Amino acid sequence: MTTQELIEQIKIKKSFLTVGLDVDLSKIPKHLFDLEDPIFEFNKAIIDATHDLCVSYKPNTAFYEAYGIKGWMSLQKTINYINENYPDVFTIADAKRGDIGNTSSMYAKAFFEDLNFDSVTVAPYMGKDSVEPFLAVENKHTIMLALTSNEGAFDFQTLKVDGKELYKQVLETSKTWKNSENLMYVVGATKAEYFTEIRKIVPDSFLLVPGVGAQGGSLSEVCKYGMNDNIGLLINSSRGILYASNGTDFAEKARAEALKMQQEMEQIISLKFI
Amino acid sequence: MTTQELIEQIKIKKSFLTVGLDVDLSKIPKHLFDLEDPIFEFNKAIIDATHDLCVSYKPNTAFYEAYGIKGWMSLQKTINYINENYPDVFTIADAKRGDIGNTSSMYAKAFFEDLNFDSVTVAPYMGKDSVEPFLAVENKHTIMLALTSNEGAFDFQTLKVDGKELYKQVLETSKTWKNSENLMYVVGATKAEYFTEIRKIVPDSFLLVPGVGAQGGSLSEVCKYGMNDNIGLLINSSRGILYASNGTDFAEKARAEALKMQQEMEQIISLKFI
């Protein structure tokens, strides 16, 4: 999916919601365990119930790898299900990969070719040649960690390098990389006041924003400081939607939560584009 | 495996060699494609031919994920084969993972429980709570990126934060984390002169050293500056051993290359402990 197509979807659906498919077997409804692949069945029900309210799904690979081959199969079935049934939805493999050049090429193959995701998250620590192999793939997007939503973000990301926070240096340096137009960035919602500074460096890029909801970030604050003329935000919610209920009504309750967020987003969009 | 047991193995085998199992289907002998699982068969032959010469195997997950479920199955069969047949060998999942706390716990489950590796590599960018879930697992080891062997290492790792290179800050900060005694570090061989400085910060820790061989690093230089009283180094070689031949004699030729390295290491060890 191209960036332009993603922007179109945001306008059509009046939503910039990403649903994080972080399936924890200890939290999903017990009746799903009677089925052969509870993780996939859970995802399928969530996707069917929310696909018109969100523009993106983001499975985090950790939650699948934890269950070994079975988990990887659930991931494959999930991405295939989305691609076959809802091809207008932007898909994100939240994998936070990154390695030396020839190895990163193998990760690009894994997520862009084998699994056929639209995008993958990557870590910046290993620099240019660890990210460029992802950027080289046409019509795919590489979402690099800039400022994350967790407490540990303050350990290194906000340290000053040459008088400037590391995450700002990461943003600036990445703009010089080949095919950097294929970059998006992860910026945590728990630090809304940082968005002003970030937008000075990457005014046009899409930002994937975790941390709204369970982690305490405010949607309106993030939009106030982070939105650009194309919206430019993908707001992720995982636990708040997935685990709204752990009964047989889980998908219905998930839809209700997603709807609340979509409506809030619709209002923000309408105020933005009066 | 405990650190003490690893040190014992180094003394018994007179080797601190790690064989990186980065299996690229485009480089392995063609006759293996007649078998059901060429990647596993390749690994099995390499392992059988080198297990007495090395103390560790390190599959890089990228090379398995690139082949989807089949690849993940090859990885599982490889680690199971090592654990069943050569339990004295230290195993490293070179995965470079790292995510917010509850997600990193799932990665720890994937590599320490499901696959039962002795250790996993992690990335530091997300800080303390992204690494501590790995450190919490008893008798397992977490190998964190400090200074990598690639060109991109100079993009961020060597930038000065408060007058000190970022990788040094990463080393120092990580020592304050809970269960930090379970940490080892990745330090690239291509920058041997840096080892002196690194040893001032982490004198006792094991360092996993990629970049000897194909990437141009020198074994003797690394040992000169990086070795401690317990050796404290795991030197990785991947391509130089794996692809010594792409004929039916590949395992034999791989052994010859591993033997060369082991002999060089034996000499270094004997000079060290006169």
pLDDT at B274 over 70: no
Quick one: pLDDT band at residue A29, thresholds 50, 70, 90?
very high
Q: What is the mean pLDDT of residues A151-169?
A: 95
| Token couple for B174 | 């990580």
Choose between B146 and B192: higher pLDDT. B146
| Partner residue facing A124 (CB), from B125, B151, B170 | B125
C-alpha to C-alpha distance for B55 and B89, rounded to whole angstroms: 5
Question: Active site includes A96?
Answer: yes
- The H-or-E segment that residue A147 falls in is strand A141-147
Quick one: pLDDT band at residue A211, thresholds 50, 70, 90?
confident
Q: Is the Cβ of A226 closer than 8 Å to some Cβ of chain B?
A: no
What pLDDT does residue A201 have? 98
C-alpha to C-alpha distance for A84 and A79, rounded to whole angstroms: 9
Contacts of A173 in chain B (CB under 8 A): 155-156
CB distance B114–A154 less than 8 Å? no
**Which residue in the block uniquely carries the two structure tokens 């395992």?**
B251
Q: Is the Cβ of A163 closer than 8 Å to some Cβ of chain B?
A: no
AA identity, residue A7:
I
Give chain B's mean pLDDT.
Answer: 95
Give chain A's mean pLDDT.
Answer: 95
Count how many residues are written for chain B: 274
Of these residues, A44, A77, A96, A253, which one is catalytic?
A96
Q: What is the mean pLDDT of residues A69-95?
A: 98
Which residues in A173-206 are b (16+ Cβ under 10 Å) and which e? bbeebeebebbbbbbbbbbbebbeebbebbeebb
Which residue of B113, B121, B156 to mutate against A (max A Cβ within 10 Å)? B156
CB A249 within 8 Å of CB A31: no
The total of structural domains in chain A comes to: 1
C-alpha to C-alpha distance for B163 and B100, rounded to whole angstroms: 28
C-alpha to C-alpha distance for A85 and B237, rounded to whole angstroms: 45
Tell me, yes or no, whether A25 lies in a domain.
Answer: yes
Domain that holds residue A98: 3-269
Give the helix, strand, coil percentages of chain A, each rounded to 5: 50, 20, 30
pLDDT at B23 over 70: yes
Q: Is the Cβ of A161 closer than 8 Å to some Cβ of chain B?
A: yes
CB B102 within 8 Å of CB A62: no
pLDDT digits (tens, 9 = 90+) for B84-131: 999 999 999 999 999 999 999 999 999 999 999 999 999 999 999 999
pLDDT at A191 over 90: no
CB distance A62–B152 less than 8 Å? no
Contacts of A209 in chain B (CB under 8 A): none
C-alpha to C-alpha distance for B93 and B117, rounded to whole angstroms: 6
**Residue A57 is part of a domain; what is its CATH number?**
3.20.20.70
pLDDT at B151 over 90: yes
What pLDDT does residue A162 have? 84
Tell me, yes or no, whether A10 lies in a domain.
Answer: yes
Q: How far is B85 from chain A (nearest CA, A)?
A: 21
**Which residue in the block uniquely carries the two structure tokens 């034996």?**
B266
Cβ neighbours around B33 below 10 Å, total: 10
| Partner residue facing A153 (CB), from B109, B127, B131 | B127
Tell me, yes or no, whether A274 lies in a domain.
Answer: no
CB A95 within 8 Å of CB A111: yes
CA of B114: which chain A residue's CA is closest? A68
AA identity, residue B178:
K
What pLDDT does residue B182 have? 98
pLDDT at B214 over 90: no
C-alpha to C-alpha distance for B138 and B44, rounded to whole angstroms: 28
Tell me, yes or no, whether A265 lies in a domain.
Answer: yes
Quick one: pLDDT band at residue B36, thresholds 50, 70, 90?
very high
CB distance B162–A166 less than 8 Å? no
C-alpha to C-alpha distance for B89 and B84, rounded to whole angstroms: 10
C-alpha to C-alpha distance for A164 and A174, rounded to whole angstroms: 15
Which residues in A121-131 are b (16+ Cβ under 10 Å) and which e? bbbbbbbbbbb
Contacts of A98 in chain B (CB under 8 A): 96, 123
| Partner residue facing B98 (CB), from A65, A123, A169 | A123
Quick one: pLDDT band at residue B215, thresholds 50, 70, 90?
low
* Strand ranges of the sheet holding B160-161, from the earlier edge strand across to the other edge: A164-165, A160-161, B160-161, B164-165
- From the list B233, B171, B254, the residue with the least C-alpha distance to B17 is B233
Q: What is the mean pLDDT of residues A137-144?
A: 97
Q: Is the Cβ of A80 closer than 8 Å to some Cβ of chain B?
A: no
pLDDT digits (tens, 9 = 90+) for A37-76: 999 999 999 999 999 999 999 999 999 999 999 999 999 9
Q: How far apart are the first and last CA of chain A?
A: 28
What pLDDT does residue B217 have? 76
Contacts of B156 in chain A (CB under 8 A): 124-125, 127, 161, 166, 169-170, 173
Q: Is the Cβ of B65 closer than 8 Å to some Cβ of chain A?
A: yes
Contacts of A110 in chain B (CB under 8 A): 62, 65-68, 71
Distance of CA B142 to the CA centre of its chain: 11
Q: How far is A96 from chain B (nearest CA, A)?
A: 7
